[in-house]
Amino acid sequence: MLVSDIDEHKKKKRPTLARQRHGLVLMAFTVLMAAFASAVLPAPALAAPPIADAGSDQIVEQYERVTFDGSGSTDDVGIVNYTWSFIYGDNVWQLYGEVNDSFYFIEMGNYTVTLNVTDGDGESSTDEMIVTVIKEKVNFIEDYWWSLPIIGATITAVVILWIVLYSGLDVVSVPTREKSRLLMHRFRYVSKQVVTHKMGAVGTAILGFFFALAVFGPLLAPYSVDPASDDVTELYLKPSPEHWMGTDSRGVDIYSQLLHGARTSIIVGIFAAIIASLMGAAIGLYSGYIGGWQDEVIMRVNDVILSIPWLVLMILLAAMVGEITLTLLIVIIGVTGWSGTARLVRAQVMSLRERMYVERARAIGSGDMHIINKHIMPNAFPLIFANTILTVAISILSEATLSFLRMRPVGTTTWGTMLSYAEQSSALQSGLYWWIIAPGLCIVFLVLGFTLLGHALDEVVNPRLRRR
């Protein structure tokens, strides 16, 4: 054996032995250190379970969207998941994910709201709170604001008419009186023409029926349409003497809903049409009278609005708003509906502007406002008015369509929302045919009434059409 080989041998053997002994020492050392560490040093942070905090109990009103804040929850590792669950009777809704989540309370009574938080180690904790939902308080100004201008205008009109026609006081000059007499005469003439016109008479009769329904319908309704009221009975009841058209998917009487729907449909139609017509008339008047580059700009904007399909525009606006109330619905329909009227008024104003009497008025030094007030508006107004009546019909249809596509106004009953619920809960399969047929027929006849009246008015005030 060579020396070097022996050395190799030694080198091979001894370190192995040494390592083994060393390993034993190391092991002992480690155990000792661990014992020492556990005895002397503070224990390493074991993950503590998170503490959930859902907030304190609340009382909210019906149809209110409440945002819950789970940010009070604490954990040392960090919370990765929040789960909110809302329990009402047998119904459970769960929302995953966010610290803040909002929930929309529809039913009256107690909801149990539970927040479950999970931390990074998979440990979780739960906190519970009670939300009591009370009946929505009716605020007269907020809910019936639309009636204030009508009441005001009616009182003013009655007072003015009384002063003008029946008082012998000198507050009214003779020419004014003569003018108002002529106005009355013209009004009588137009209404006589409309009523003797076949279409106009039918339209007026239909509208009379629906206006009566709008005023008295809710009083005639045998049951409440509030899904939270005591009148709610079994779901999907077939027509019976108690429930003439059965009950819907929420247990609400369908016939009562039908009677309630007339008012909202007419309100939506009329107010949306007024917004659309006012905007359209103002824009058309400006564009047609001023002309020039302003006209170009307005007409291009008008082209854009007319080119995007009408329904798409309304759906996008409605989606933008999120939660739709009746007022918002009226504004959406009104704001998207002005372009047709604007075009019509513009064309009319452009032709009126070139008339001889406008030229003459300008020659004797009349200002623009005077010409618009005295010469253009009186001639354009009948057309605008007839067009407004036709716009009402379109607005009613728009409301029904938007509601049907599940963009329905919250907390109100319209014929559109009835159809929407019917489609959503498959009325066809449950055999509740009236649920679909009745609201649809009501919409058709209401729209028909406005269309007939509008066409009749158009023919009376628009002499170009009369020869037909």
Partner 1 sequence: MSKSSMRKMLLRRGVNIIITIFGIMTLNFILVHAMPGDPILNMVPRDPKLDPAYKEALVDKFNLDASLPERYVTYLWNTITLDWGTSYMQDHREVVDIVFTDMRWTVLLIGTSTIITLILGMLIGAYGAYTRGGAFDMSSTALMLFFYGMPIFWFGLVLQMLFSTYPAGMDWWPQLPTGGYYDTVEHGSTFHWDFWLILSVLEHLILPSMTLAVGSLAGVAIVMRSSLLDVMSEDYILTARAKGLTDFQVLRLHAMPNGMPPMIALIALSLAFVIGGAYQIEYVFNYPGIGFRTLNAIWELDFPLLQFIVVIGGVAVVIANFLADIILIFIDPRIKIA
Residues lying near partner 1 in the complex (CB under 8 A) are found at 80-81, 96-97, 118, 300-301, 303-313, 315-317, 319-320, 322, 393, 397, 400-401, 404-405, 419, 422-423, 428, 433, 436-437, 440, 443-448, 451-452, 467-468
Close Cβ partners of 387 (under 8 Å, ≥ 6 residues apart): 277, 341, 344, 454, 458
- The least CB distance from residue 441 to partner 1, in Å, is 9
Decide: 460 and 384 in contact? Cβ < 8 Å. Answer: no
- The least CB distance from residue 246 to partner 1, in Å, is 15
Q: How many residues does the chain have?
A: 468
Q: Hey, is 52 helix, strand or coil?
A: coil
Specify the residue, 125 or 401, whose C-beta has the smaller distance to partner 1: 401
* Strands 100-105 vs 58-61: parallel, antiparallel or unpaired: unpaired
Tokens in use for 413?
Answer: 């009953």
Q: What distance in Å separates the CA atoms of residue 21 and residue 16, rounded to the nearest whole number?
A: 9
Specify the residue, 310 or 385, whose C-beta has the smaller distance to partner 1: 310
- The least CB distance from residue 31 to partner 1, in Å, is 37
Close Cβ partners of 341 (under 8 Å, ≥ 6 residues apart): 276, 277, 279, 280, 281, 284, 384, 387, 388, 391
- The least CB distance from residue 445 to partner 1, in Å, is 7
Specify the residue, 277 or 336, whose C-beta has the smaller distance to partner 1: 336
Chain-centroid distance, C-alpha 261: 16
Element (H, E) at 143: helix 140-143
Specify the residue, 223 or 338, whose C-beta has the smaller distance to partner 1: 338
Decide: 117 and 124 in contact? Cβ < 8 Å. Answer: yes
- The least CB distance from residue 269 to partner 1, in Å, is 12
- Return phi, psi of residue 323, to 5°: -85, 125
Q: What distance in Å separates the CA atoms of residue 272 and residue 331, rounded to the nearest whole number?
A: 6
Specify the residue, 101 or 253, whose C-beta has the smaller distance to partner 1: 101
- The least CB distance from residue 276 to partner 1, in Å, is 16
- The least CB distance from residue 72 to partner 1, in Å, is 20
Specify the residue, 59 or 312, whose C-beta has the smaller distance to partner 1: 312
Specify the residue, 227 or 439, whose C-beta has the smaller distance to partner 1: 439
